[in-house]
């Protein structure tokens, strides 16, 4: 994971905060769902060893995050991250995004997340505080087109919508 250093509203590598967030969660989810091997090494590429994530009041350390990944792997069929806005200052980052997910039975969910986080100098997550809520998934017509004009099946584990959303503006 490349470091996220602020230089005039963009990371040193040219990514905006929105792009960083979309790429971070899309890449992480893609890697953890790619196989049934030990998720620990993947977690270690994206999170520091002392990482703590507080999600809806529940404290999740590295061990609990690894344990959480196992059922996600078994149930997640498709996913996309739609980053609505994100800002950063130094190693601090804040974002509002929606996770679109489809399970192996074809049930769709959408979860809006408000995240405040701290990154390590190497770009890995060190701490996050998140509030989330379930939102109505976008309706899909007979052609698979969502109400907003994006393809309902365009996010088949490849993060297409997250990347598209991250390029609509920098949000910073």
User: Which of 97, 171, 120 has its CA nearest to residue 4?
Assistant: 120
What sign results for the dihedral spanned by CA atoms 115, 151, 35, 120? negative
Distance CA 46, CA 1 (A): 7
pLDDT at residue number 59:
98
pLDDT at residue number 134:
96
Q: Give the tokens for residue 51.
A: 């990482």
pLDDT at residue number 70:
87
Domains plus CATH for the chain?
6-166 (3.10.450.50)
- Between helix 17-32 and helix 62-75 the angle, nearest 10°, is 70
Q: Give the tokens for residue 64.
A: 């609990």
Q: 92-103 and 58-61 as β-strands: parallel, antiparallel, unpaired?
A: unpaired
Q: What tens digit of pLDDT does each residue of 140-153 get?
A: 544 554 444 333 33
Residues of the chain under the 50 pLDDT cut? 1-8, 141-142, 145-172
pLDDT at residue number 155:
36
Q: Where are the alpha helices (DSSP H) in 33-61?
A: 40-46
Residues paired with 45 in a beta bridge: none
pLDDT at residue number 93:
97
Q: How far is CA 114 from the centre of its chain?
A: 11
């Amino acid at each position: 994971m490349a470091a996220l250093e602020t230089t005039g509203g963009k990371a040193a590598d040219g990514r905006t905060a929105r792009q960083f967030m979309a790429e971070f969660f899309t890449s992480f989810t893609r890697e953890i769902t790619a196989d049934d091997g030990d998720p620990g090494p993947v977690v270690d590429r994206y999170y520091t060893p002392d990482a703590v994530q507080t999600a809806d009041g529940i404290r999740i350390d590295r061990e609990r995050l690894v344990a959480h990944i196992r059922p996600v792997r078994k149930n997640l069929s498709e996913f996309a991250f739609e980053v609505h806005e994100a800002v950063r200052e130094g190693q601090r980052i804040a974002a509002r995004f929606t996770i679109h997910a489809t399970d192996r039975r074809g049930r769709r969910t959408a979860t809006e997340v408000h995240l405040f986080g701290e990154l390590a100098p190497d770009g890995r997550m060190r701490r996050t505080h998140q509030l989330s809520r379930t939102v109505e998934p976008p309706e899909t017509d007979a052609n698979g087109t969502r109400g907003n004009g994006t393809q309902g099946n365009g996010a088949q584990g490849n993060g297409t919508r997250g990347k598209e959303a991250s390029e609509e503006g920098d949000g910073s």
